[in-house]
Amino acid sequence: MIVATTIAELKQALKEWRESAPSTARVGFVPTMGFLHEGHASLMRRSKAECEYSVLSIFVNPLQFGPNEDFDRYPRDAERDLALAEANGIDLVFMPSVAEMYPKKPVTKILISEVTERLCGASRPGHFDGVGIVVSKLFHLVQPDRAYFGMKDAQQVAVIERMTEDLNIPVEIVPCETVREADGLALSSRNVYLSQEERAQAVILSQTLKAAETWVKTPGMTKRALSDKIESSIGQASLAEIDYAEILTYPDLEEPDAAADLSDYEGKLIIALAVKFGRTRLIDNRLLELRGGGIHV
């Protein structure tokens, strides 16, 4: 496994591989912020299974953190990350410094509207601008055929799919299922922030989402009524503070008709949660494919 910390090293490694590989060989790419867990590992294994060469990037991107967010304390463990990458079939790791990625202040911004209006786009202003520029830079540097993203960040997937479509970036975005702990908590590098009690209560997100899948089938269930049930369910966890709990169409992330009977809805809906436990903000979601009169996940 090659570890590149500069763009020149990355390009050299890719060039050498491409020159020796057949022209049909594919490059798979897993962009991450490091502190890797089994969720990331599942993306790496999928890349390994589907592509001839797998690239992982580890870069905590300052531009996607707000001024009061956790950029400085975001957990890092390069040594463990590299061992996990190697164990999961990665061929090349790109691990640049901030100065390598942003040698000067970029004057170019990528602004994505509409799909960023709600959820994390609303509660983290500027977040998706930062995601847009860094993902675009990484795609240009690695030039992958496929890029793997976890559906825990469902809005990020929707944003990146729309950006690559709008800009004709030649990469296939592959959304991958969220990986969970045994009790249902979605894996996240931020889970390490949780105290023991917070960790115990954090299971309320996945439990509520699972219950909501049943609630939505109740005849006459409106968006408002479903929201109320979701919020009161999360409220059972005494330490939980709701940032948002929304029911939206997917992948456009628009509000469904407020008066509609959701049990009759046909199409994809996403129930998306962001909940704070102390200073730690967790997100989770469930994508429901509804065909009217019932549910088929």
The least distance separating its own copies from the CB of residue 58, rounded to whole angstroms, comes to: 17
Q: In what order do the strands lie in the sheet with 240-249?
A: 240-249, 266-277, 280-291
Choose the stretch contacting its own copies; rule: CB under 8 A; options: 60-68, 100-108, 145-153, 191-199.
100-108
- Looking at the Cβ atoms of 18 and 291, the one nearer to its own copies is 18
Would you call 40 a catalytic residue per the annotation?
yes
Residue 85's φ and ψ, nearest 5 degrees, are -60, -45
For its own copies, the binding residue among 67, 72, 168, 266 (CB under 8 A) is 168
Handedness of CA 230, 232, 236, 242 (dihedral sign): positive
For its own copies, the binding residue among 12, 66, 80, 114 (CB under 8 A) is 114
CB 137: neighbour CB atoms within 10 A?
19
- Angle of helix 78-87 relative to helix 38-50, nearest 10 degrees, comes to 40
Q: What number of CA atoms fall less than 13 Å from residue 179's CA on the CB side? A: 17
- Looking at the Cβ atoms of 69 and 161, the one nearer to its own copies is 161
Retrieve residue 58's tokens: 């580890």
- Looking at the Cβ atoms of 136 and 249, the one nearer to its own copies is 136
* 249 touches its own copies by CB under 8 A: no
* 122 touches its own copies by CB under 8 A: no
Q: Which of 40, 127, 140, 296 is catalytic?
A: 40
Choose the stretch contacting its own copies; rule: CB under 8 A; options: 71-79, 82-90, 102-110, 268-276.
102-110
What is the end-to-end Cα distance of the chain in Å, rounded?
Answer: 38
Give SS3 for 132: helix
**Annotated binding-site members for beta-alanine:** 64
Contact assessment for residue 230 and residue 269, using Cβ atoms and an 8 Å cutoff: no
For its own copies, the binding residue among 133, 179, 262, 273 (CB under 8 A) is 133
Binding site for its own copies (CB under 8 A): 7, 18-19, 23, 106-115, 132-133, 136-137, 140-141, 143, 162-163, 166-170
